[in-house]
Amino acid sequence: MPAILLLLAHIAGDFYLQTRRMAEKKAQSAGTLLLHSGIYGLCILLVALCFGTPGRAALAAGIAFAAHFVIDCAKLALNRKYPERQLLWFALDQALHAAVLLALSAWLPGTSRIGAAVGAALSGAVAAVLPGTAGHERRMALAVLLYLALWTPAGVVVRLTLDAFGKQESTAGEVARVGELIGKLERAVAFTLCLLGAPASIAFVLTAKSIARFKQLEEKGFAERYLIGTLLSVSLALLCYAAYQKAV
pLDDT digits (tens, 9 = 90+) for 173-195: 666 788 888 889 999 999 999 99
Task: Identify whether residues 156 and 115 lie together within a single domain.
Answer: no
* Same domain, residue pair 114 and 152: no
Q: How many domains does the chain have?
A: 2
Q: Which of 132, 160, 185 is the last residue in one of the domains?
A: 132
Q: Which of 13-17, 53-57, 201-205 has the highest mean pLDDT?
A: 13-17
Indicate the residue among 69, 101, 132 that finishes a domain: 132
Same domain, 172 and 94: no
For residue 169, what pLDDT is reported? 53
Q: Is 104 in the same domain as 6?
A: yes
If asked whether residues 5 and 94 sit together in one domain, one would say yes
Same domain, residue pair 112 and 153: no
Answer yes or no: do 74 and 194 share one domain: no
Q: What is the mean pLDDT of residues 116-134?
A: 71
* pLDDT at 145 > cutoff 90: yes
Owning domain of residue 247 = 136-248
Residues 186 and 110 in one domain: no
Do 109 and 147 reside in the same domain of the chain?
no
Give the mean pLDDT of 158-182: 75
Q: Tens of pLDDT along 53-107? A: 889 999 999 999 999 999 999 999 999 999 989 999 999 999 999 999 999 999 9
Co-location of 29 and 112 in the same domain: yes
Least confident of 10-14, 66-70, 107-111, 133-137: 133-137
What number is the average pLDDT over the span 12-24?
91
Q: Are residues 209 and 244 in the same domain?
A: yes
Domain end among 132, 147, 178: 132
pTM score, whole prediction? 0.89
146 vs 122, more confident: 146
Least confident of 75-79, 115-119, 234-238: 115-119
Q: Both 150 and 231 in a single domain? A: yes
Neighbours of 215 (CB within 10 A): 8
Confidence of residue 114 (pLDDT cuts 50, 70, 90): confident
